[in-house]
Structure 1
Amino acid sequence: MQWSEIFDAVASRLNSNFAVGDPVAGRWLLAGIVIAAASILIVPLWRLVRPAVTLVHELGHAAVGVLSGRRFTGFVISPDMSGHTTTVGRTSGPGMVLTAAAGYPMPAIIGAGAIQAALAGRAGVVLLLILITLVVALFHARSLFTGGSLVLLIGLDGYLWWAGDRPWAAASVVWLGAVLLIGAWRHLAAVAFHGDRSQDPGLLASATRVPTAVWNLGFMLILAACTWWAWRVLEIPFGLTVEALLGGR
């Protein structure tokens, strides 16, 4: 294949992203959610997918830090699936607080948004945005494990994006959204129950004198709102109305 043919193929795929595709539905939608739940609840599978939740957590710190006027210098994801993001700026003030507070809510926000997009026929847009984000993040990786993980994710996401409007590609966006949303709850539960003051809620408590429990509660409310958002999006295809669950009462 010549370079001109490659460029034409990429341009064609990019143009198709601006057209609304078929929303993922039926067995593909159900499969995406069921596999996501299994990925979170089954420990060996959770160990495989947890880096995605950690990655969004760390990039959430980075994105909000940049928007707050800080400079993003790099991040690390460790083999034990912990992570660390470095931003440079004032050591106090709203920018620092917002940057530190962005990590735990971000997977839930992105997860609910991905589910919304997939059911609106915009799965290709999500995959393209993920691809761009991963490529940019690769230049800020500060460890071999982080860089290798990003290269693997770039290859996987690039393949799904190139697959186009196939239902299993769109279902993968639903799967990712559900993994991020449910995984956000698992991450927050772990830090809330363990009470590790070196984690974000403890650091925020030290910086603001607002108790750690209040920060955890605030994060829970955001996650609950994102969960409600995803639930409402799924009401129509699944009929998950409150009335249906109560037997029509």
Structure 2
Amino acid sequence: MDQIIDRLAPATTTPDLAGWTLLAVLVLAGVAATWWPAWRVLRLVVTLVHELGHALVGMLCGRRFTGFVLRSDMSGHAVTVGPAHGAGVIATTWAGYPAPGIVGAGLIWLATHGWSAPALTALVVGLLAALTRVRSALTGLVVLAAVAGAASLWWWGEDTLQAWLLVGVGVLLLVGAWRHLGSMLPRIEIGSDPGVLARATGVPAALWVVSFVVVLAAATWVVVTVLLVPMGA
């Protein structure tokens, strides 16, 4: 029990993320998010966060999260039950594309401030909860792999290693969020999130895409600002 409690607490000192190791982590994360053989697998992690973003915001808006699926072509679908109209369903639909960037920036901020262990704890708990809502074998495999990776790092990783890897995951999610958004352009399909939002609100789909860009740009600014400090800039 003492060991579990120790692994729930933030680091007593800020992890040392300066130097070539951090640069190597950033480069590897960037390669993982852009090199096709790696991206074709890791993009499912970005899709997972996208769909869970829909689910979390839906539940915060009072909707009931009933299940979700991930597909190998980078698409997915999360189902929340509630009113068919109103602010809740709009917020739920909007949340998907910004979610990986926001989560990525949050992980990097927490990692660089010594909060890797609590962040990993929250990830494990959230993923275990999500596991009860999977609706396909591929979805279950991805969630189980994410749980295993996060739990292993939480239990066996020391503070600096946890911070390095969370920074890497954060960069992967942020770059992946931009890639997901870019893959939707230049043609916005009627069944895409901004297409659905346009039909529901009358606001052009392009403006919804702009809102995604603004949020991801803010997340990118946070990440660059946070990482400039340990890199000595």
Q: TM-score, normalised by structure 2?
A: 0.94
Distance in 2, Cα, partners of 1:21 & 1:148: 36
Structure of greater relative contact order (alpha carbons < 8 Å, 6+ residues apart)? 2
CA distance 1:49–1:95, shift in 2 (3 Å): same
Match of 2:115 in 1: 122
Letter in 2 for 1:55: L
Q: How has the CA–CA distance of structure 1 residues 151 and 218 changed in structure 2, closer, same or farther, with 3 Å as cutoff?
A: same
Aligned to 1:22: 14
Judge conservation of contact 1:163–1:169 (CA < 8 Å) in 2: no
Residue 85 (1) aligns with residue 109 (2): no
Q: Does 1:52 align with 2:45?
A: yes
1:103 CA drift (Å): 0.3
Q: Which amino acid aligns with 1:220?
A: V
Deviation, structure 1 residue 165: 2.3
The alignment's C-alpha RMSD in Å is: 1.5
Distance across 2 between alignment mates of 1:119 and 1:62:
27
Decide which moves more: 73-82 or 217-226. Answer: 73-82
Name 2:184's counterpart in structure 1: 191
The answer on whether the counterparts of 2:117 and 2:159 sit within 8 Å (CA) in structure 1 is: no
- Which aligned pairs between 1:33-72 and structure 2 lie closer than 5 A? 33-72=26-65
The residue type equivalent to 1:13 in the other structure is R
Give the counterpart letter for 1:145 in structure 2: L
Moved over 6 A (4+): none
Contact 1:23–1:122 at 8 Å: present in 2 too?
no
The Cα of 1:36 is off from its aligned counterpart by 0.9
**1:155 equivalenced with 2:148 (yes/no):** yes
Count residues with an aligned counterpart: 232
Percent identity reads: 44
**Looking at CA atoms only, which structure, 1 or 2, has the larger radius of gyration?**
1
Deviations 1:118-142 (A, max 9, x none): 1111111211111111100000111
Moved more, 166-175 or 83-92: 166-175
Q: Which runs of 5+ in 2 are unaligned?
A: none
TM-score, length-scaled by structure 1: 0.88
Corresponding residue for 2:124?
131
For residues 108 and 38 of structure 2, the distance between their equivalents in structure 1, rounded to whole angstroms, comes to: 21
